[in-house]
A and B are shown apart, each in its own frame.
Chain A
Amino acid sequence: MHFDLTDEQKALREMLAQFFHERLGGARAIEAVRETALDRGLAAEIGGLELSGIMVPAALGGSGLDLLSLAVVAETTGRYCVPAPIVASALAAWLVASWGTAAQRDRWLAGLMSGEIAAAFALQEAAGWLPESWTLQGDRIDGSKRNVEWAGDAGLLVVGLGGGTLALVDAAAEEVSVAPVDSLDRSRPMGEVTFRHAVADPLPLAATAPLIDAMLVLYAADAIGAASAIQALAVDYARERRQFGQLIGAFQALQHQLADMSVEIEPARPLVWYAAHAWDSGRADARRTAALVKAHAGDIAVAVARGAIEAHGGIGYTWEYPAHLFLKRTMHDRAAMGGVSFHRERAAALAGW
């Protein structure tokens, strides 16, 4: 019985924290999201970390690690508000490696793993996020998908089809067009993707459920990372800002607000780890835990982020100070793939309530 990250996962977390702190720490976070297009320089540096192959089996050139390891990555991308599609590309590489045909692997895997090709998930339609709402049909698809993160920079689109299947679509095909969406979270620009008789190369049906569950866990991990980061900003500020002749961090009202954030965040992190581990080990409660943690983490992360901005006073409400990036990151994590009450109802139904 050992409930903790492995030394390898801890080392990964340390390495990524240092890497992103140097590039995106403090006010640099604001600079990093000034443009909504992917920073190719940053993307190339991230590509050098070989994160996309994290869940690709070693036999196919990947790291052969698990979802828990990718959740560690996702928490860090949330913590530094990383404006790059790291998690999506890693998931797509896993999907192609584990579920794709030999031809699909030959076509996509090397590019995904080197970071040359970014992936985006085109799932949501007007009726909803999850497979039962998907309607696009056939080997050539017509229609559109909403709120696709990094759609404008993706080379590979993973598209949800009617009946709950997935298909790979070449984003560069002329039958595919992307209209930018004015996204709240500037670190994850979105697009609306329209397909006009585009070639859709199907994956087996069985890939869909694990993909959805993994995405829910990873949004939860990202949310916990972002919430931890904005709480840390508020704590740091409370230790340097003076009013009424003393540090504001000495005022009990503020101490209690900041302490209550720890009460929310700290136990939620092991829950995210468990949700990832349950997925990795195929436990019976994996699907339900993914729903529960998506709702829980999204809910508390936004509440923490709100409180942290309030704790800052006026500076927290300005565009130039980075706090709002984390608030918006948590709001995106909360809403993407279905909101809090949506997943709580799923968790209730999955419990047989």
Chain B
Amino acid sequence: MDLRYTEEQIAYRDGVAAFLDKAWDISHARDAGFVDLFRRAATAAGYLYRGVPRRYGGGEQPADVVRAQIIRDAFAAARAPMEVPGNGVALLIPTLLEWGTEAQREAFIPKTVLGEYRWAQGYSEPGSGSDLASLSSRAELAGDEWRINGHKIWTTLAQHATHMFALLRTEPDAPKHDGISYILLDMKQPGVTVRPIRQINGDSEFCEVFLDGARAPASWLVGPRGRGWQVSRSTLRHERNHIGSAARTTPMFDRLVALARRRHRNGRPMIEDPAIRQALATIEGYLQAQLWAGYYQQTLAATGESAGTLGLVNKLTTTNLFHRIAALAAEIIDDDALKAPAQGRDRGGDERWVSQMLGSLGQAISGGTSNIQRNIIAQRGLGLPRPAAGE
């Protein structure tokens, strides 16, 4: 156990700090042109897109989870932007690096890195949620293009996407996992209709996407035909960004403590209320556990060891913390909890915590529901048998 950085790591950290000092200016954070230039400089310095080769516009650095952590900490401290957010960077680029053709990589990765191409993930369908492999949207090869018909749903930010990477059934007679292909398509075409879905918090981050005779070049198939299921399993192999990290929960908890100091009941700060103190300390136990479990998993990743069952509980840990924090906040804000939260970026007053409460449900459902997470822990972690399939 040694929580100190080595001399080499300290020198690296100082280098990142010096770079940020020179290249980043928080007063220009809303200037898109400045942010774009900053990202290019940070990529050239090897701080961003570290797993992406230089020839595709990346920073191309050897995998090093400690350096990745140093960069994240330094950028967070300076409130500087990291990679362009979204599915393109997190999911498509690693998939293309593993399965794509040279032409696909050249066509899509550089523009995704720059944020010019924004990607929607066309996976879930109305009848295929947790049982994703039962999906039925079709792609048929007609000459040199795919003709695509079907219906995707829960497609995050599809209304702003330029492209979609989709799982589509290309071999209808094959067993369900074997008949799916991973195909890219342009969202800006007549056969694609996007309808935003209004969520319980009033926002519209998800959409339905109707595919009616949409087209994609035959060469936009990624990986072998019929192997889309395997292709879609590609995950970031380099420096997985958030291995059970407390990066999102820690600032949220800090805001909760600040809220409890600021709000009063019967003339006393809420933080002096014994029940509130107990509840805060309960949450902090979970938060500290998440924090140190995250550092442990980073060390394991750096040495190439498996985290075993611990590695499977991270999503539930985050979900549970989001929920606990939001539930206590709802108690602390008292009658502000009766208000509907403001929508979009302007979150208004303390009723913003109501949005947090509702949003914590989104965390529980998206990216594999909590019950699916429990199935995975039980079957892959604890070695329990798969339940007999129904119907």
Contacts and interface: CB of A to CB of B under 8 A. Distances in A.
B2 A2 contact: yes
A247 B378 CA distance: 14
Interface residues of B, number: 56
B340 interface: no
B286 interface: yes
Nearest to A274: B292
Contact of B292 (A3, A344, A345): A3
Given A1-B299, A3-B298, A266-B313, A344 B278 contact: yes
Chain A interface SS verdict (over half): helix
Interface in A34-73: 68
B379 interface: yes
B292 A250 contact: no
B299 A348 contact: no
Interface in B360-391: 371, 373-375, 377-379, 381-388
Interface residues of A, number: 47
B382 A235 contact: yes
A263 interface: yes
Interface in A227-267: 235, 238-239, 246-247, 249-252, 254-256, 258-260, 262-263, 266-267
A184 B282 CA distance: 26
B271 A353 contact: yes
A271 to B, nearest CB: 4
B384 A1 contact: no
Contacts of A345: 274, 277-278, 281
B121 interface: no
Interface in B313-367: 313, 316-317, 320
Contact of A268 (B289, B303, B386): B289
Interface string B285-326: 110111011011011100100000110110011001000000
Interface stretch (B3-11, B27-35, B107-115, B231-239): B3-11
B302 to A, nearest CB: 8
A252 to B, nearest CB: 5
Nearest to A68: B1
Contacts of A251: 387
A5 interface: yes
B158 interface: no
A289 B288 contact: yes
Given A255-B384, A277-B3, A348-B281, A270 B375 contact: no
Chain B interface SS verdict (over half): helix
Given A255-B374, A277-B1, A271 B257 contact: no
Given A1-B4, A4-B296, A256-B374, A271 B289 contact: yes
Contacts of A137: none
Contacts of A281: 3
A98 interface: no
B179 to A, nearest CB: 27
B244 to A, nearest CB: 7
A333 interface: no
A308 interface: no
A68 B3 CA distance: 14
Contact of B384 (A5, A235, A260): A235
Nearest to B313: A263
A2 B261 CA distance: 35
Contact of B277 (A5, A269, A344): A344
B71 interface: no
A223 B208 CA distance: 48
Nearest to A69: B1
B283 to A, nearest CB: 10
Given A3-B298, A4-B296, A267 B387 contact: no
B281 A295 contact: yes
Which 8 residue pairs are nearest across A and B when measured between Cβ atoms?
A296-B285, A255-B378, A344-B281, A267-B293, A259-B377, A267-B289, A259-B374, A348-B277
Given A255-B387, A263-B377, A341-B278, 6 more contacts: A255-B382, A259-B382, A266-B293, A345-B278, A348-B281, A353-B257
16 contacts: A235-B383, A239-B385, A249-B378, A250-B385, A252-B375, A255-B382, A256-B375, A267-B286, A267-B292, A271-B293, A273-B1, A277-B1, A295-B282, A299-B282, A348-B278, A353-B271
